[in-house]
Amino acid sequence: MNFEPRPQANTIMQPLTIYNSLSRQKELFKPIKSPFVGLYVCGPTVYSDVHLGNCRTFISFDLLFRYLQHIGYKVRYVRNITDAGHLEGDTDDGEDKISKKAKLEQLEPMEVVQKYTVDFHEVMRTFNVLPPSIEPAATAHIIEQIEMIRQIMTKGYAYEVNGTVYFDVEKYNQQQNYGILSGRKLEDLLENTRELGGQDEKKGRLDFALWIRAEGKHLMQWPSPWGMGFPGWHLECSAMSNKYLGEKFDIHGGGIDLIPTHHTNEIAQNVACCDENPANYWIHTNMLTVNGQKMSKSLGNSFLPHELFKGTHPLLNKGYSPMTVRFFMLQAHYRSTLDFSNQALEAAEKGLRRLMAAAALLDRIQPGNNSNYDIPALEERCYAAMNDDFNSPVAIAELFDAARVINSINDGKESITAADLERLKKIYKLFLFDIFGLQEEQQTEEGLDESIRILIDLRKEARERKDFATADMIRNRLLEAGFLLHDGKEGTNWSRA
Ligand SMILES: [Zn+2]
């Protein structure tokens, strides 16, 4: 990461604004205790492979994490691992997802957790997502969660029935606004929720479980003041953000689908326990669609990261590299829906190649006596885009513009002074590599073959016009790089030397 002092252009740039889901508008970003920033993002449930929608969320917050650090903030980024108590369908009567998977696969629950945590980290590394500062697991914070439930009960917002503790939503809403984040009224929520039946223990139909009584066979259970059980999913984020970032911190993030239930309940729990909405800014990333349809397992149009990389899903024409996918995601603003299609992915692949090629050219182009290009203005526009709610697509468009200029300098059509070239190199690489987190990828065999074939054609043309010096140079340079050319009747082939 680049921790250098901010470039001069930043002193005249507009300040950072963030779209806050709480106020439903862009707001000036003011940390509670600058230069420190507390950031909490809801992490994955490690009972199966991480899906692409989640990857988009974590790539978006990686951009935010990298950028905040670049402009000088010291960020403590907490992203949890949900390894306990996440129920099917987010209701209270389902089966624990992790236990269910464990029974299916004849594994110990923590074996499932370990396997998918390792896989998740691997996928994040492939996408060049920086690890968070702290990655707490729910199962390691049972004591904190029990303590939080006790406090909520003491304040009178929770009640116990037969070993299960429920949050009393209607009572909470008498003093507070339960729908503050979703913008929905309690009456409307009640109307849209099924009525309680005779089997139900809870008092109100919107009440949700903070602690759940474990039935005898339940694989993951812990002792508590209310008997053996396990914590509710919403509670872990409240307890762990509180532990590592305090009662009030700067940014809380997650996918947009978390607004109506998970984040709404998180806020209710923290307010009930500590009289504080835990975060000043709530940031939400939008959904993925495939050919215009919502990505979902039931529609058969949801693919896993490895299916996307290898191109093994029926909807994909071919595989796309992790950097292509990362770049594709950053080319859309995090608050817009992002549509996957072969066409769009292929365009991203070409676009990324163009930006990477320009980065390589930067080290080779020669400065001239005058500049036809205003580098400080480019720099300012890149920062202005990022300061406008992390508008990566606009900043990427600026890099495309710069790439065009780099190419025409290389072609001798435009020129740049040595000082401007240095500044251009710095800003271009800073955004491409450090802020957008893109990396050079190992060329695939297919891509390599394509590149060598181009050189073989050029050599053939040189020989045809009797330019044997160029033809020999191409062959010798390829040999130096480890590739041997074989001339035969059928034309020229190559092998590794
Ligand atoms: Zn959460």
Structural domains of the chain in order of their starting residue, each with its CATH number: 31-285 (3.40.50.620), 289-435 (1.10.730), 445-496 (no CATH)
Separation of 294 CA from ligand 1 center, angstroms?
Answer: 22
Quote the pLDDT of residue 117: 96
Is it the case that residue 444 has pLDDT exceeding 70?
no
Ligand 1 center to 245 CA (angstroms): 14
> 252 forms bridges with which residues in the sheet?
40, 282
Going by the DSSP 8-state scheme, the letter that residue 323 receives in this structure is H
Is the pLDDT assigned to residue 91 strictly greater than 60?
no
Q: Please tell me the distance between residue 261's alpha carbon and the centre of ligand 1 in angstroms.
A: 10
Please provide residue 219's backbone torsions phi and psi, each rounded to the nearest 5 degrees. Answer: -75, -35
Average pLDDT, stretch 197-216?
Answer: 89
Residues facing residue 41 across a β-bridge? 79, 253
Cα gap 453→209, rounded to integer Å: 63
CA 263 to centroid of ligand 1, rounded, Å: 7
Q: Give pLDDT tens digits for 380-432.
A: 999 999 999 999 999 999 999 999 999 999 999 999 999 999 999 999 999 99
Give the list of residues 6+ apart from residue 484 with CB closer than 8 angstroms, or none: 478, 494, 495, 496, 497
Model confidence at 87, pLDDT cuts 50, 70, 90, reads: very low
Write out pLDDT tens, residues 472-493. Answer: 999 999 998 888 999 988 889 8
Q: How far is the CA of 110 from the centre of ligand 1 (A)?
A: 20
Whole-number Å distance, alpha carbon 268 to ligand 1 midpoint, is 13
Please give the annotated binding residues, written as ranges: 42, 237, 262, 266, 297
Q: How many CA atoms lie within 13 A of 408 on its CB side?
A: 12
Residue 103 is predicted with a pLDDT of 65
Residue 5 has pLDDT above 50, yes or no: no
Q: Do residues 99 and 30 make contact, with C-beta atoms less than 8 angstroms apart?
A: no
Question: 41 alpha carbon to ligand 1 midpoint, in Å?
Answer: 7
Percentage of the chain lying above the pLDDT 70 cut: 92
Instruction: Give percent above pLDDT 90 in the chain.
Output: 76
In this structure, of 3-7, 112-116, 162-166, 490-494, the range with the lowest mean pLDDT score is 3-7
Q: Please tell me the distance between residue 266's alpha carbon and the centre of ligand 1 in angstroms.
A: 7
Distance 244 CA to ligand 1 centre (A): 14
In the annotated binding site for ATP, the residues are: 297
CA of 42 to the centre of ligand 1 (A): 4
User: How does pLDDT run across 232-248, given as a tens digit for each residue?
Assistant: 999 999 999 999 999 99
Span from the CA of 85 to the centroid of ligand 1 (angstroms): 12
Dist. CA 279 → ligand 1 center (Å)? 12
Residue ranges for the known binding site for Zn(2+) are: 42, 237, 262, 266
Query: What is the per-residue pLDDT for 109?
Result: 82
Sign of CA dihedral 202, 204, 209, 211: negative
Q: In what order do the strands lie in the sheet with 249-255?
A: 74-79, 36-41, 249-255, 279-285
**Distance from the CA of 63 to the center of ligand 1, in angstroms?**
19
Q: How far is the CA of 325 from the centre of ligand 1 (A)?
A: 25
Q: Which two tokens stand for residue 262?
A: 């998970």
* Res. 102: pLDDT tops 80: no
> What is the reported pLDDT for 14?
78
CA of 72 to the centre of ligand 1 (A): 27
Residue 94 has pLDDT above 60, yes or no: no
Q: Is 90 exceeded by the pLDDT of residue 3?
A: no
In this prediction, residue 92 carries a pLDDT of: 44
